[in-house]
Structure 1
């Protein structure tokens, strides 16, 4: 079994000033750190003022950008290498998810995991192998690491939203369709959104789609949202 590396990173408390009733974990991409995605907390916090946000730094110093972090090395990108790397990192991420849920007194149904690029790889790889489904997974510009045993290893089936730029030069746009096909075969509900002219990144329309997904998976209707904003 892989060793557990304690994870931590920047945090944002609920916008309403109360105790967390929801938790959003944000997983950054290769060579970045938690500060890269914690910037999404104010935006999503308008919709989820009762949510705490945390963006852990990945467990390893990046071997291609030493000022950042990586979930695992991408020097080798063969399927077996990706699987081995994700499997090793999953132990630490699993422990972090458990720790954060316990800290806030929350359950899996209160959790959404958002990933970008390699963070999307880890969100999908880890959350689908956890015994209880989280509320949802949002993946920007990533791919599904398929070791050929997805169907037998998938233990939970939370709703998934994948968003990908059609002009992505880092993670090919075609990876989104491949992920959708495999996830669907595994019984995971998935929706995909192509972003025309977008390269490897997150655009405003993608953020709007993600915000709408958060509303749906947390079953928040427009009246609830308006009330939350007034109370905030």
Structure 2
């Protein structure tokens, strides 16, 4: 299996006590999201992965799965079982988690939008210190490990890309599966605004 491409900050990596992993959204890439690390957790070693698939419209953009194959905008939460792109991304990320020189129990995994979907679909199965989901959603019923990492979900009530109702449905599914999740609605769109950053900073400081 091919290895994921990624960027890190600082580069080259330092022997930091804690780590932040970042997963970008649909059409973005690692370079887009990596600057967020210096705001969220300036003392952490940060890594941002490039999704394995090229975006169909954005030249330098990447995607974790093809939205045309999946019903990601319904409360069913379920992707097309015949599609393999999500499984490929999950397998490559799992390999990445294992190969990075990090302690997962001292690592926060954070993702935006489609990256937030991957954070939930995969992150619940690993012993992370915590998961942060910006404008994300579940793509399948949750399968948490025990003990399960705590989850912070932040979503805009005016999000035109991932409707707020989808985030609410995802939160209900997580809570029903006994995932320790906190859900914070904010008056914003599909974005990471200063209020969202402050919530994430507080979560990171506690985990």
TM-score in terms of structure 2 length: 0.88
* Paired residue secondary structure (2:174): helix
Question: Over residues 32-87 of structure 1, what are the superposed CA-to-partner deviations in whole Å (9 max), with x where a residue is unaligned?
Answer: 100111111221234xx1x2101111111112323210011111332232874322
Aligned to 1:229: none
* Paired residue secondary structure (1:161): strand
Question: Over residues 97-155 of structure 1, what are the superposed CA-to-partner deviations in whole Å (9 max), with x where a residue is unaligned?
Answer: 1111xx2xx3221111010000000111111123xx210000001101124xx3xx322
Misfit runs of 4+, over 6 Å: none
Unmatched 5+ stretches in structure 1: 218-232
Question: Over residues 159-210 of structure 1, what are the superposed CA-to-partner deviations in whole Å (9 max), with x where a residue is unaligned?
Answer: 00000111111111112211111111111100011111x1111101100000
Is the contact made by 1:140 and 1:162 (CA closer than 8 Å) also made in structure 2? yes
CA distance in 2, matches of 1:158, 1:93: 17
What count of residue pairs does the alignment treat as equivalent? 198
Aligned to 1:140: 134
CA distance in 1, matches of 2:204, 2:62: 27
1:46-85 pair list within 5 angstroms: 46=42, 49=43, 51-78=44-71, 79-81=78-80, 84-85=84-85
CA distance in 2, matches of 1:18, 1:141: 30
Give the RMSD, CA atoms, in angstroms: 1.9
Aligned to 1:220: none
1:3-82 pair list within 5 angstroms: 4-13=1-10, 19-46=15-42, 49=43, 51-78=44-71, 79-81=78-80
Larger radius of gyration: 1
CA pair 42-80 structure 1, distance change in 2 beyond 3 A: closer
1:195 has 2:161 as partner: no
Unmatched 5+ stretches in structure 2: 72-77
Aligned to 1:99: 99
TM-score in terms of structure 1 length: 0.79
CA pair 52-77 structure 1, distance change in 2 beyond 3 A: same
Is the contact made by 2:41 and 2:201 (CA closer than 8 Å) also made in structure 1? no
Identify the match of residue 118 of structure 2 among 122, 137, 148.
122
* Per-residue deviation, 1:216: 0.8
